Amino acid sequence: MKQDRFHGRVRESRRPCDWPGCAEVGEFRAPGPRGPSFDGPGQYRWFCLDYVRQFNAGYDWFEGMTAEEILAAQHPIHGWDRQTRAFSPTAGIDAAPRWADFKDPLEAISGRARARRPAQRKDGREVTPDERRALDVLGLELDADRRALRKRYSELVHALHPDRNGGDRSSEKRLQSVVEAYQLLRKAAAFA
């Protein structure tokens, strides 16, 4: 195999150079307008050797980042400090089903799928699994309306807030989950 002295060159490229006014062949790939994401590797620009050098000289990977974000991105373990979804113990899913509760393993699998599917309200609006969990936190039914949401939120805040219950701070976590649930539901399409 013959080594090319320019790393990244794609010799068989038939693409024209993307630099305006250049008639050379674009043999070098450079980041494009859309970066890599879960949809794929993103878009690339193709330049000839002269213009890829010019592009690289002016390219700033850290553009738009704060000083803290730049420092974090330069850290040796950046990106390795958290588990990816595939390697986390739950793989991004709730706990495994209790197989003893089911006669057929497919029932357990379909039950999990139903739990992750949006629920339908009587008025035809969909409620996502996150919104259903928020309704459970507030103790509301699936078909509760905006008025019931506000009323229940107000009741829970009055009952759980330390200023209302004699300074007892033992229910702060519960109060925080109630506030988060309300913030999610008040913006939800089902309560618009």
Report the candidate in 112, 145, 146 with the shortest Cα–Cα distance to residue 129.
Answer: 112
Q: What is the model's pLDDT at position 89?
A: 56
Per-residue confidence of the chain (192 residues) as pLDDT tens digits? 455 667 778 877 788 998 999 999 998 888 887 766 666 667 888 899 899 899 888 888 788 888 888 888 888 777 666 655 555 555 555 666 677 777 887 887 777 777 667 778 888 888 888 888 899 899 998 888 889 999 999 999 888 888 777 777 778 888 889 999 999 898 888 777
The CATH class that applies to domain 119-191 reads: mainly alpha
Q: What is the model's pLDDT at position 81?
A: 65
Q: Rounded distance, CA 52 to CA 13, Å?
A: 14
Q: What is the model's pLDDT at position 120?
A: 81
Q: What is the model's pLDDT at position 22?
A: 92
Q: What is the model's pLDDT at position 1?
A: 40
Q: Rounded distance, CA 92 to CA 82, Å?
A: 13
Q: Is 29 exposed, middle or buried (0-12, 13-18, 19+ CB in 10 A)?
A: middle
* Dihedral pair phi/psi, residue 111, rounded to 5°: -65, -40
Q: What is the model's pLDDT at position 43?
A: 82
Residue extent(s) of CATH 1.10.287.110 domains in the chain: 119-191
Q: What is the model's pLDDT at position 147?
A: 92
